[in-house]
Amino acid sequence: MKKALAMILALMMVLSLAACGNSDNPQNSNAGGESKAPVETQKPDDNQSGGEVANKDKPLVWFNRQPSNSSTGELDMDAMNFNKDTYYVGFDAVQGAELQGQMILDYITAHIDEIDRNGDGVIGYVLAIGDIGHNDSIARTRGVRKALDTAVEDGGTIKSDPVGINADGSATAVKDGKLTIGGKEYTVRELASQEMKNSAGATWDAATAGNTISTWVSTFNDQIDIVASNNDGMGMAMFNAWSKENKVPTFGYDANADAVAAIADGYGGTISQHADVQAYLTLRVLRNALDGVDIDTGIGTPDDAGNVLSDEVYKYVDAERSYYALNAAVTAENYQDFMDATKPYGPVSTQLDATAHPTKNVWLNIYNAADNFLSATYQPLLQNYDDLLNLKVEYIGGDGQTEANITNRLGNPGQYDAFAINMVKTDNSASYTSLLEG
């Protein structure tokens, strides 16, 4: 009898300890301000067994690929509202895309005397498209076409389809643009564009872009005055394969370290999507939900270590449950400031106290381990922040082709306190949420 009593007592102690460690309790949130240490007297929720939160109630952040319909772009609000601790972290795709277009237009304006390599009166560009069903890619294609006046609208939105080859300007997804620079009118033509997808189905594929530029060059040669790309991975592949040697300005997106460094060798420019802020937000929202503090802690409101972001670098759209980092153009004028792409952002780089913010386990996947931006910039940043935020993150790298390659490695969600998901296809949120519901 005594023995049984002792066992029950021991069990109760274990349970109450576990409940203290688990602070995912909305009552703990602190609307106006500073983060608070979890309240020790809290009771576990009904759906927690043995102090454990049900998988379906654990904090979940979607990042980089916003749950949305890949044809219409409509946000998948079911995914974004999966539970009260679900958010998306990305960046402002439209603002960044417009900056990219403007950066190319500014370059043309500043170099108008030498830009038209063969002097045929047509400024020709080629465009590498990442993924025709990805909203970032769509926005960037539109941003370039809008700035260069080659855009064609369909029902109020700019067409983003690839044109294939458009030697004579007859493609229907674009038109020949007119730019007036220094009082003179110039024609701009999208000579070619293509989705860079490899034969296995991986999109944003740098190797495909590197091969495609050779095909385009054999068709157009010195008609190509500018190379534009939806990202730096593809942009650098084209730069290294051809445009560097031929001194043709090439523009990408992401501010990957190799691309920023290449600006010294003639790479035209890139856009920083503030991956340092995004990677922080990706883990920070999980940390806050796990601590049971207001979600704004360490974001718009300083945390107990003084970490805080200013609204110059991010915005939060409540109706979309989404945090968006803001972008900045990186060109010959300022690239020196962007050389270290994997350095944590200064204002949010202070270590959290391990007693108030105890270690938690996070499962996180990168949809394609071969994606230049995600593996060379985003993941190293996450790895810096996970230490600062006391999160033990298991990183899973996908093949960029099938969701199953990733979900197969989420066999035991019960082992983790929170999840960070980067889908292969933006329509596929249910492949993950069904595992958490099951």
The distance of closest approach from Cβ of residue 64 to ligand BGC in the complex, given in angstroms and rounded to an integer, is: 5
* Closer residue to ligand BGC, CB minimum distance, 9 or 404: 404
Q: How far is CA 150 from CA 121, 279, 338, in A?
A: 16, 34, 30
The distance of closest approach from Cβ of residue 100 to ligand BGC in the complex, given in angstroms and rounded to an integer, is: 10
Helix and strand counts by DSSP (H, E) for the chain:
14, 17
Dihedral over alpha carbons 129, 131, 137, 138 (to 10 degrees): 90
How many other C-beta atoms lie within 10 A of the C-beta of residue 154?
11
CB-based burial, 308-335: b 16+ in 10 Å, e otherwise? bbeeebbebeeeebbbbbbbbbbbeeeb
- Given a contact cutoff of 8 angstroms between Cβ atoms, the answer to whether 195 and 131 are in contact is yes
Six-digit token string for 413: 């969600």
The distance of closest approach from Cβ of residue 282 to ligand BGC in the complex, given in angstroms and rounded to an integer, is: 13
Q: Which uninterrupted H or E stretch holds 232? A: helix 232-238
* Closer residue to ligand BGC, CB minimum distance, 107 or 253: 253
The distance of closest approach from Cβ of residue 193 to ligand BGC in the complex, given in angstroms and rounded to an integer, is: 17
* Closer residue to ligand BGC, CB minimum distance, 92 or 225: 92
The distance of closest approach from Cβ of residue 396 to ligand BGC in the complex, given in angstroms and rounded to an integer, is: 15
**What is the rounded distance in angstroms from the CA atom of residue 259 to the CA atom of residue 253?**
9
* Closer residue to ligand BGC, CB minimum distance, 139 or 290: 139
Six-digit token string for 19: 């409940």
239: Cα within 13 Å, side-chain hemisphere: 25
The distance of closest approach from Cβ of residue 194 to ligand BGC in the complex, given in angstroms and rounded to an integer, is: 16
* Closer residue to ligand BGC, CB minimum distance, 92 or 136: 136
* Closer residue to ligand BGC, CB minimum distance, 240 or 390: 240
* Closer residue to ligand BGC, CB minimum distance, 179 or 271: 271
Q: Which residues bind ligand BGC (CB under 6 A)?
A: 64-65, 130, 136, 204, 231, 233, 253-254, 371, 373-374
CB-based burial, 391-423: b 16+ in 10 Å, e otherwise? bebebbbbbbbbbebbbeebeebeebbbbbbbb
**What is the rounded distance in angstroms from the CA atom of residue 170 to the CA atom of residue 163?**
10
**What is the rounded distance in angstroms from the CA atom of residue 253 to the CA atom of residue 134?**
15
Six-digit token string for 167: 């030697």
* Closer residue to ligand BGC, CB minimum distance, 37 or 207: 207
The distance of closest approach from Cβ of residue 233 to ligand BGC in the complex, given in angstroms and rounded to an integer, is: 6
The distance of closest approach from Cβ of residue 138 to ligand BGC in the complex, given in angstroms and rounded to an integer, is: 11
